[in-house]
A = this chain, B = another copy of it.
Amino acid sequence: MYGLIGRMLAAPGRREELLDIMLDDMDFMPGCLSYVLARDPSHEDAIWITEVWDSAEDHKASLALPSVQATIAKARPLIAGFDNRYETEPLGGIGL
């Protein structure tokens, strides 16, 4: 499996709007076992994203899906950047 843990920063004051777009658009993606969006209670503009995929190739391929491209186009103006990004090798647990 392939995992990502990342923190996205919304444009100042736009976090809820960005979350709404990302949550509304969330849809089946081949090879995606888990994709969780969470507020960071310590930073008013930050969103933690934790992902588990069957493989790195599945994650990469997802970025080309029309549904994902459409979400990226809507979300991009509300994204200020990313300040944490960790790749992981998930092994198992609950909920996969």
Asked if A92 and B5 make an inter-chain contact with CB atoms under 8 angstroms apart, the answer reads no
Is A87 an interface residue when CB atoms closer than 8 A count as contact? yes
Instruction: Please count how many residues in chain A sit with their CB below 8 Å of the partner chain's CB atoms.
Output: 33
Closest to A32 in B: B94
Q: Bound complex: CA of A29 vs CA of B95, how far in Å? A: 11
Interface residues of A (CB under 8 A from B): 1, 3, 5, 19, 23, 26, 28-29, 32-42, 48, 50, 52, 86-96
Q: Bound complex: CA of A6 vs CA of B33, how far in Å? A: 20
Contacts of A52 in B (CB 8 A): 36, 38, 95
Residue pairs across A and B with Cβ atoms less than 8 A apart, 26 shown, are A3-B36, A3-B50, A5-B5, A5-B50, A23-B91, A26-B92, A28-B94, A32-B95, A34-B34, A34-B93, A34-B94, A35-B95, A36-B90, A36-B92, A36-B94, A37-B90, A38-B52, A38-B88, A38-B90, A39-B88, A40-B88, A41-B88, A42-B86, A42-B87, A52-B95, A95-B96
